[in-house]
Chains A and B, each alone.
Chain A
Amino acid sequence: MFTTSPNAADPTRLTLVRAAYRAFDEHSPLAREPTLPGYLADMGRPFGVRLRPAPFTSGHSHGEMAEPLLDALDDGRPIDVLVLAERMHDVRPGRATATYLGSRVPGAPLAFAVCDQGSAAPFTALRLLDAYARSGVCARALLLVVEQSTLHYEPITPVRLPDRHTAVALLLEAGPTTTITVRQHVGVADGAALDAELDSLCAGHDDPVVLRASADLPLTGLWWELAAGLDSWAALGKRVVLADHDPTVGLLSVAAIDLGGR
């Protein structure tokens, strides 16, 4: 059970220590669940959304996609807070997936999802985890960035869908210093301001790694690259800077993560 009181707790800061990532070529059997078309039809009707022709056979569930990553990162030590960052919904729309995933890791963490932010959601999730750590209630955290690639209806405004089902899990632990900096700007129509933010976050760091969002994996792509390069960049003590601009929500997000400094 997660409990808090106004009594001061020892603040800490989080640093990124391990990661897991995986693509899923197969679709989930849950995409064929008979309840899915009715749910999506009811949800879309007020917005004039029409379902694509049945049968539904493609798509994946974020819970199933995240589970093997939790297993890969499980070292038996407790997790305090788990945040699931989502951009597009999955084929199990009624499911409190974060709550379920929280029951699959040690420590019975506080678990919740962050969404309705386009590809900015993982950046906000990092800020939230930092806030929990700084208030003294989070020494180990999991950030899950998960996106399946199927929509069973035509979106009412143009939006990029991912090319594949992919999931990334980042394990963060309390460290002695600040190693993660996140900045977000709202109402940003284009990505021109990214360069200034990147210059600011790269200044004073020797050959930092700069990652920019990819079109083929709008949500997970950045974090996939971070997870894939984590061990080698940590060995070199690199600063990794992640940059994203999502024009659909007008959010510009950047993060600087210092690796290997523990």
Chain B
Amino acid sequence: MTALAGVSDYLPDHRVTIAELAGELLLSPAHVQVLQRKYGMREVRRRAPGETGTDLLVSAVRALAELRGRERLVRYVIYARGVPVAVPFPVNPVHELCDRVGLGHALPFTVTHHACVTNLLAIDLAGRLLAADGDPDALALVVAGETVFTQDAELPPEARIFGEGAGACLVSAHGQRDRVLGYACEQRGDLDHWAPGVTDHAARFAKAYRGTLCDVINAAVTAAGLRLSDIALLLPHNVNVVSWQRVCAQLEFPVDRVLLDNVALAGHAFAADLFVNYRLAVARNLLDTGTVYLAAAAGYGATFAAMVFQH
């Protein structure tokens, strides 16, 4: 059974408020107020001058205590990237990462096209790869985290205020810690927001968002052989508070079980949100032995996914 053998995160110290980003994002003062008061946004993290995207990943991996002394067991290093193309060819962050953290013996590659929920895809396929290889001690390292290098004006403001940060996790095929109990993924290529000649993608994505996210959450819980009431904690993507309030209302799931604090404190750090929120849950003693929790996210493209774990 696929399991996480360790999880880490890294958030740069540099904090930028939503108000400070208003000029860059072409937001009016009124819009900033709406984002703060209604959507729960306050600040995001950004890299220090000179800090690169690969530096973010390296910092997250160096924070992964469970990796120390087990480097030789890592067979794969998988970069779960939300943005399909983020560096000029042939720049290769995942290869540079391996060299810098002593994992040059592992096979590095990137998986993408699942937006900011590529993290769950990477965890799932890492477990399958390791199981197929048959070495019970082998591990895969999944990393996530991206830079804000361009602004997509097509995205609504509540979805395009991204933070910078990174996360990492060790995956094993047969572990006992943070076991994966169920995974559901719904892809809606018809909502492709880069489709040629399509102008109503944002409206159609918004219309489909809540129902489809609820569907994958319910499907993941069912796949795990559980009921939604068994979920003690939901680790969200940190897009905004309102969308989670609406999802919870539709699911009839208590919103106070959704760890939303990082919406205000860190912002949406692409596919690293899961790892950042996991570490916050650990810091707050929200994960006891046996706790069943769920991670869920969605993103443009569009992909919606949820995964149930047991701590």
Contacts and interface: CB of A to CB of B under 8 A. Distances in A.
Interface string A141-166: 00000000001010111010000000
Contacts of B34: none
Given A43-B149, A96-B302, A186-B105, 17 more contacts: A3-B182, A3-B183, A6-B180, A42-B150, A47-B88, A94-B84, A95-B301, A100-B301, A103-B189, A108-B187, A115-B109, A116-B108, A117-B109, A135-B128, A135-B131, A155-B90, A251-B107
Contacts of A184: 107
Given A30-B196, A47-B87, A94-B85, A110 B185 contact: yes
Nearest to B121: A112
Contacts of B95: 116, 249-250
A38 B150 contact: yes
Nearest to B187: A99
A212 interface: no
Interface string A76-104: 00000000100111001111111111111
B179 to A, nearest CB: 8
B129 A102 contact: no
B311 to A, nearest CB: 15
A129 to B, nearest CB: 10
Contacts of A118: 90
Contacts of A121: 109
Interface of A: 1-6, 29-30, 38-40, 42-47, 49, 84, 87-89, 92-104, 108, 110-118, 120-121, 124, 127-128, 130-132, 134-135, 151, 153, 155-157, 159, 184, 186-187, 248-251
A111 B113 contact: yes
A114 B121 CA distance: 12
Interface stretch (B14-22, B218-226, B246-254, B288-296): B218-226
B258 interface: no
Contact of A131 (B125, B179, B303): B125
Indicate the member of A30, A103, A156 with the most B CB atoms within 10 Å: A103
Contact of B114 (A29, A96, A187, A249): A96
Contacts of A249: 92, 95
B88 A153 contact: yes
A175 to B, nearest CB: 16
B94 A116 contact: yes
Nearest to B196: A30
Given A99-B187, A112-B114, A187 B131 contact: no
Contact of B186 (A1, A100, A127, A134): A1
B185 A84 contact: no
B74 to A, nearest CB: 11
Q: Sorted from nearest, which 5 A-B pairs have the closest CB atoms?
A: A103-B189, A96-B301, A93-B85, A95-B194, A42-B150
A97 B88 contact: no
A205 B114 CA distance: 41
Contact of B1 (A6, A99, A127): A6
If over half of A's interface residues share one DSSP class (helix, strand or loop), that class is named, otherwise mixed; here it is mixed
Contacts of B180: 6
Interface of B: 1-2, 52, 79, 83-95, 104-115, 118, 121, 124-125, 128-129, 131-132, 147, 149-150, 152, 179-190, 192-196, 215-216, 219-220, 222-225, 300-303
A248 B109 CA distance: 14
A88 B150 contact: no
Nearest to B85: A93
Nearest to B195: A100
A132 to B, nearest CB: 6
B132 A5 contact: no
B144 to A, nearest CB: 14
Contact of B88 (A2, A43, A124): A43
12 contacts: A1-B185, A6-B182, A29-B196, A43-B87, A43-B88, A100-B192, A100-B195, A104-B189, A114-B109, A118-B90, A132-B125, A187-B104
Given A94-B194, A97-B84, A156-B91, A1 B113 contact: no
A114 B111 contact: yes
Given A46-B52, A96-B192, A113 B219 contact: no
A1 B196 CA distance: 25
A31 to B, nearest CB: 11
B128 to A, nearest CB: 4
A87 B91 CA distance: 11
Contacts of B107: 124, 184, 186, 251
A115 B110 contact: yes
B115 A159 contact: no
A121 B188 CA distance: 24
B131 A94 contact: no
Contacts of B93: 116
B296 to A, nearest CB: 14
Nearest to A121: B109
Contact of A115 (B112, B183, B220): B112
B113 A103 contact: no
A97 B113 contact: yes
B105 to A, nearest CB: 6
Contact of A4 (B52, B83, B118, B124): B124
Given A4-B124, A6-B181, A113-B84, A96 B90 contact: no
